[in-house]
Structure 1
């Protein structure tokens, strides 16, 4: 838990510059990085739940479920920080909402791909 708090604080302490695919520069703000970390954690949790459902090995199923449960705390902490930053910096709220919708669309597409793959089996 301490590592997670340190990680989140380090992200908020600075703005990062990332090069995009076109060679230009995109400014990654605090809220961008926090939302990205939150979405990654949620995506990982969804994958772990899927792995648990897909396996018949009881030990593996238990491991995947435990890892998914452990991520709940991280997700809650990141969500709390996103909410705090949004309340302190209202201009981030609209940006954050757009990112959440984009992530939701990506997760739905991933789930549809997984469903299609399962149908092919």
Structure 2
């Protein structure tokens, strides 16, 4: 691994001097927002499991209703698209793009609305 923890105590992951980070990841605030939504969806009985994947092009968080199925939702952070349609994308269960944007909160909005409907039922 090419990175270590920042000694300043901020919890940031920084690359060792002279080396580039080999993978894209979610920062603490992004992960906090995603896991908060995940916890509320679990409490509503919508999701039961999750998986994360990190590579050179993208970081992905996938939420599952059941472990053996395809993800019900997938959140992707792709920094290469930052100056185009936005680096965050929300994919639906069948791989369709549900929302794209520059702000994670806006991209998660369809899942937030779904949560409100699940709680009302």
TM-score (norm 2): 0.31
More strand by share: 2
Report the structure number with the largest CA radius of gyration.
1
More helix by share: 1
Higher relative contact order, chain-length normalized (CA < 8 Å, sep 6+): 1
